[in-house]
């Protein structure tokens, strides 16, 4: 819901100053133009920013952040705005710093397998820039054709191929940062072995609360010689889950291993009609194998055998790019297809230890029945990253609140199973209330120490990651006891 109070600040002279450092074209102030920026990929929260600025250089970002610091204006960084946890949700009377125009690839060094990009570069462009030379960039969120590297860094994004290759943090070598006082800092470097504290790792996944990355040095990998996709269908989720456990247990590390349940299968067949996913299957498993041809071919046999041992009814494999794409098509369209099952859907993102898969999915089913909402399950099965899609109709009063509550119960299932409240979508404005479920007061306070030194005035992305009394009803009491004593910036 959008609430918009009248600003108490005299913006006119401040806007002039922003225009002076960024240029008139880089400053958006008209109400109708600001509409676009009221939310990111989590549209259930909305807030209009006072001003949007679109810098093109590190220096312009630094100048904008300095102005915010001078006038004590809260600010929020935004990449492509595809985030699913409200990490780029504006706060009242804030400046939104949008990196969408910072889309230059600054350097490509194939010999040392690295590339330097501005934060507005789209994820997919990185691979496109180096694929001709036989390289690619591994992290591949579902939104990879529209999401930006800056946002990926902020949210430590994952993707289908992160089972084998790790999430964004494993692929960032160094960063040029603008920290909240407007100074420019370099962290990490161009090689993985950098001495001193690992500030690169600290910054990746900090969701815009510690600063803005304006140059990002990424690792690129050699394109594998061979890729094969194995599609297996099972009569039950339990059987598919057992196959997952056996594949990992055998020491095979697929590039990706995805599962979809019956409801998801039917949703995607309704919408994209792949014809590959049997509508009566309890679950399908998509296993992508990559590496040397001999390795892939051996693993294909092993995976096929392990799936069969766990009751797979049919197994389809594909090695040529066209058929592989066909097998993946339904999975890639799963979120969009959920929109066809129901007027609205709510994507949850939680992690459980792989060994708890069957039990947690049973518990999710029980919650689905208890609340009376259908839940389609799509997930990165290899690393236990669940994406339950709760189907509902927002026009029914109270439905969203119920779905939020149901989503929360699913997260608590994950935490109780020894997992996490977020696998790859981040905490943002959406899940900060759940942080006390995962972390003790002392643990959260330690994270806040870090926030305080980088962000002593609290201007950088306020209200995100950490629970706040304003946003979290039930977490408010826990929050009170971990409030900061006064701190001076040194």
In the bound complex, what is the minimum distance in angstroms from residue 446's beta carbon to its own copies? 5
Tokens encoding 364: 């999710």
According to CB under 8 A, which one of 315, 450, 457, 468 is a site residue for its own copies? Answer: 450
Residue 204 lies near its own copies (rule: CB under 8 A): yes
SS3 category, 347 = strand
Considering only residues 34, 44, 57, 224, which one is a binding residue for its own copies as defined by CB under 8 A? 224
Give me the 255-284 binding string for its own copies, x by CB under 8 A, dash otherwise. Answer: ------------------------------
Among 10, 12, 132, 196, binds its own copies (CB under 8 A): 196
What backbone phi and psi angles, to 5 degrees, belong to 180?
-60, -15
Question: Residue 404 half-sphere exposure, CB side, CA atoms within 13 Å?
Answer: 15
Closest CA to 172 of 180, 182, 155: 155
Query: Residue 132 or 397: which CB sits closer to its own copies?
Result: 132
Closer to its own copies by Cβ: residue 292 or 325: 292
Nearer to its own copies, 306 or 444 (CB): 444
Asked whether position 399 contacts its own copies by CB under 8 A, the answer is no
Q: Would you call 283 helix, strand, or coil by DSSP?
A: strand
Return phi, psi of residue 189, to 5°.
-170, -140
**Residue of the chain from 60, 169, 461, 479 that contacts its own copies (CB under 8 A):** 169
- C-beta of 240: minimal distance to its own copies in Å? 17
Question: Pick from 225, 320, 393, 405: which binds its own copies (CB under 8 A)?
Answer: 225
- Residue 308: alpha-carbon gap to chain centroid: 33
Total interface residues for its own copies by CB under 8 A: 84
E strand spans, 292-414 = 314-318, 344-347, 350-351, 375-380, 385-392
What is the footprint of its own copies within residues 135-154 (CB under 8 A)? none
Q: Of these, 95, 167, 212, 247, which contacts its own copies (CB under 8 A)?
A: 167
Stretch that binds its own copies, among 43-51, 228-236, 369-377, 443-451 (CB under 8 A): 443-451
Between 100 and 139, how does the x/- string for binding to its own copies read (CB under 8 A)?
-----------xx---------------------x-----
Tell me the two tokens of residue 346: 């709510």
Site membership for its own copies, residue 191 (CB under 8 A): yes
Residue closer to its own copies (CB basis): 129 or 177: 177
421-440 residues in contact with its own copies (CB under 8 A) are 421-424, 426-427, 431, 435, 438-440
183/459 Cα distance (integer angstroms): 14
Interacting positions 20-79 with its own copies (CB under 8 A): none
Which range binds its own copies by CB under 8 A, 18-26, 62-70, 76-84, 178-186?
A: 178-186
Q: Is the C-alpha dihedral spanning 154, 160, 164, 165 positive or negative?
A: negative
Cα–Cα distance measured from residue 86 to residue 429, given in angstroms and rounded to the nearest whole number: 5
- Report angle CA 256, 390, 276 to the nearest 5 degrees: 45
Long-range contacts of 121-128 (CB under 8 A, 24+ apart): 121/148, 121/149, 121/150, 122/80, 122/146, 122/147, 122/148, 122/149, 123/147, 123/148, 123/149, 123/152, 123/157, 126/218, 126/220
Q: How far is the CB of 301 from its own copies (least distance, A)?
A: 11
CA 366 – CA 349 distance, rounded (Å):
18
Please identify, using beta-carbon distances, which residue of 101 and 447 lies nearer to its own copies: 447
């Amino acid at each position: 819901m959008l609430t918009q109070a009248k600003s108490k600040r005299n913006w006119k002279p401040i806007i002039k100053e922003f225009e002076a450092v960024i240029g008139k074209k880089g400053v958006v102030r008209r109400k109708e133009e600001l509409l676009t920026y009221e939310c990111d990929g989590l549209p259930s929260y909305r807030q209009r920013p006072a001003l949007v600025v679109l810098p093109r250089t590190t220096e312009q970002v630094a100048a904008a952040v300095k102005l915010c610091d001078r006038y004590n204006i809260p600010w929020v960084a935004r990449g492509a705005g595809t985030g699913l946890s409200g990490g780029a949700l504006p706060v009242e009377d804030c400046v939104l710093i949008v990196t969408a125009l910072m889309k230059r690839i600054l350097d490509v060094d194939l010999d040392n397998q690295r590339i330097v990009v501005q934060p507005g570069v789209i994820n997919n462009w990185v691979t496109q820039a180096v694929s001709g030379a036989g390289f690619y960039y591994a992290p591949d969120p579902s939104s990879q054709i529209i999401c930006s590297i800056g946002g990926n860094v902020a949210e430590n994004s994952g993707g289908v191929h992160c089972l084998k290759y790790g999430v964004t943090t494993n692929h960032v070598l160094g960063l040029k940062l603008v920290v909240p006082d407007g100074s420019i800092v370099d962290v990490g470097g161009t090689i993985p072995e950098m001495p001193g504290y690992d500030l690169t790792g600290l910054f990746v996944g900090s969701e815009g609360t510690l600063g803005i990355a304006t140059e990002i040095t990424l690792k690129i990998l050699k394109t594998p010689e061979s890729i094969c996709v194995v599609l297996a269908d099972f009569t039950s989720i339990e059987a598919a889950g057992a196959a997952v456990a056996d594949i990992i247990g055998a020491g095979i590390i697929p590039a990706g291993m995805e599962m979809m349940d019956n409801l998801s299968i039917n949703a995607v067949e309704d919408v994209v009609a792949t014809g590959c996913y049997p509508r009566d299957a309890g679950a399908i498993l998509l296993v992508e194998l990559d590496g040397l041809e001999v390795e892939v071919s051996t693993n294909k046999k092993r995976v096929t055998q392990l799936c069969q041992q766990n009751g797979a009814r049919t197994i389809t494999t594909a090695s040529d790019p066209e058929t592989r794409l066909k097998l993946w098509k339904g999975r890639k369209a799963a979120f969009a297809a959920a929109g066809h099952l129901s007027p609205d859907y709510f994507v949850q993102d939680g992690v459980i230890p792989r060994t708890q898969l069957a039990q947690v999915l049973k518990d999710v089913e029980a919650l689905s029945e208890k609340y009376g909402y259908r839940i389609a399950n799509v997930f990165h099965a290899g690393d236990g990253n669940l994406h339950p899609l709760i189907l509902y109709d927002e026009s029914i009063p109270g439905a969203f609140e119920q779905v939020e509550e149901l989503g929360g119960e699913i997260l608590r299932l994950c935490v109780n199973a020894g997992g996490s409240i977020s696998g790859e979508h981040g905490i943002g404005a959406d899940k900060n209330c759940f942080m006390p479920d995962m972390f003790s007061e002392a643990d959260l306070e330690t994270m806040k120490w870090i926030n305080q030194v980088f962000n002593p005035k609290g201007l950088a992305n306020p209200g995100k990651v950490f629970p706040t009394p304003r946003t979290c009803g039930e977490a408010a009491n826990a929050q009170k006891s971990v409030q900061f004593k006064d701190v001076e910036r040194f």
